[in-house]
């Protein structure tokens, strides 16, 4: 099992200071997606471009884990690789893992509103921008696999699953907020579960705590796309035929 990072990269200084240092420490490489407004004007399009590059250049195998990350992420958890490898090896039904997620998606309102039962935590950067941060809990901390969506700033996907699901370049090409949520719904529809694990990361920016200007438009597209599921969307909206494996605490 190997890790392949697809990185939304715009600022060399941030990338080198945060994520690149993390990758050197844990011993993995990254597929860097540069800030090219014409080729990739949104987070969704950047992640999609990076995924295409992995496939076209034969850089990924079914046993790999593809990590989608912003450039200002620092993986603080020294047990990151061990935790992730153990989770994906022992839980065959897990397709996507995040550090922040939610147990419900309502039709209206931000998906991390308390009514949607968010879980997980990070260390958020302070306004000084000097790498200092403070703990931030969006909800309970631990391992949860009754999740329907994870945050798009940092999440992991079983590489073999990318043969069955893909970023929606047709209807959500300009999305900066819901690309991970859309991918999670596709995974759930294909019989995989979504999990949040207790993996500690630091993010220099605080954009995971708010939405972009295009969020409302993305939400309308998302709601229309999945209207047949009925809202609120929960784990009970899906049928799973993959056998559950041993319980883990991550």
Specify if 142 maps to a domain: yes
> In whole angstroms, what separates CA 43 from the centre of its chain?
11
Q: Check residue 69 and give its pLDDT.
A: 94
The answer to whether position 90 is within a domain reads yes
Contact by Cβ (8 Å): 7, 15: yes
ω before 95 within 30° of 0 (cis)?
A: no
Q: Name the strand (E) or helix (H) holding 186.
A: helix 179-189
Q: How far apart are CA 157 and CA 21, in angstroms?
A: 22
pLDDT in tens, the chain (250 residues): 899 999 888 888 888 999 999 998 888 877 766 556 667 788 999 999 889 888 888 888 999 999 999 999 999 999 999 999 999 999 999 999 999 999 999 998 888 899 999 999 999 987 666 668 899 999 999 999 999 999 999 999 999 999 999 999 899 989 888 999 999 999 999 999 999 999 999 999 876 667 778 889 999 999 999 999 999 999 999 998 765 554 555 5
In angstroms, what CA-CA distances link 115 with 111, 118, 192, 206, 218? 9, 8, 24, 21, 20
Q: Which domain holds residue 161?
A: 72-237
Residue pair 101/144 in contact (Cβ under 8 Å)? The answer is: yes
In a domain, 32, yes or no: no
Does residue 12 form part of some domain?
no
- The count of domains in the chain is 1
Backbone phi and psi for residue 34, each to the nearest 5 degrees, phi listed first = -70, 165
Any domain includes 16: no
In a domain, 197, yes or no: yes
Residue 90 contacts by C-beta under 8 Å, 6 or more apart in sequence? 245, 246, 248
CATH value at residue 143: 3.90.550.10
Is there a contact between 49 and 169 (Cβ–Cβ < 8 Å)? no
First to last CA, the chain: 18
Bridging pattern class, strands 193-196 and 144-147: antiparallel
* Residue 58 placed within a domain: no
Query: Quick check: is 229 in a domain?
Result: yes
């Amino acid at each position: 099992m190997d890790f392949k990072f697809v990185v939304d990269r715009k600022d060399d200084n941030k990338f080198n200071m945060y994520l690149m240092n993390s990758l050197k420490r844990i011993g993995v490489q990254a597929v860097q997606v540069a800030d090219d407004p014409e080729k990739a004007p949104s987070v969704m399009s950047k992640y999609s471009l990076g995924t295409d590059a992995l496939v076209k250049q034969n850089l990924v195998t079914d046993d790999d884990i593809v990590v989608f990350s912003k450039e200002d992420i620092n993986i603080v958890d020294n047990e990151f690789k061990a935790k992730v490898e153990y989770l994906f090896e022992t839980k065959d039904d897990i397709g996507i893992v995040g550090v922040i997620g939610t147990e419900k998606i309502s039709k209206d309102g931000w998906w991390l509103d308390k009514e949607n039962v968010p879980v997980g935590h990070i260390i958020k950067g302070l306004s000084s921008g000097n790498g200092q941060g403070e703990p931030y809990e969006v909800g309970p901390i631990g391992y949860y696999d009754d999740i329907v969506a994870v945050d798009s700033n940092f999440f992991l996907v079983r590489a073999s699953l990318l043969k069955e699901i893909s970023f929606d370049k047709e209807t959500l090409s300009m999305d900066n907020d819901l690309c991970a949520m859309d991918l999670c719904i596709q995974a759930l529809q294909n019989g995989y579960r979504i999990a949040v694990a207790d993996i500690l990361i630091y993010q220099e920016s605080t954009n995971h705590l708010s939405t972009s200007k295009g969020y409302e438009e993305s939400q309308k597209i998302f709601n229309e796309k999945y209207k047949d599921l009925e809202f609120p969307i929960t784990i009970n909206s899906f049928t799973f035929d993959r056998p559950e494996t041993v319980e883990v605490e991550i």
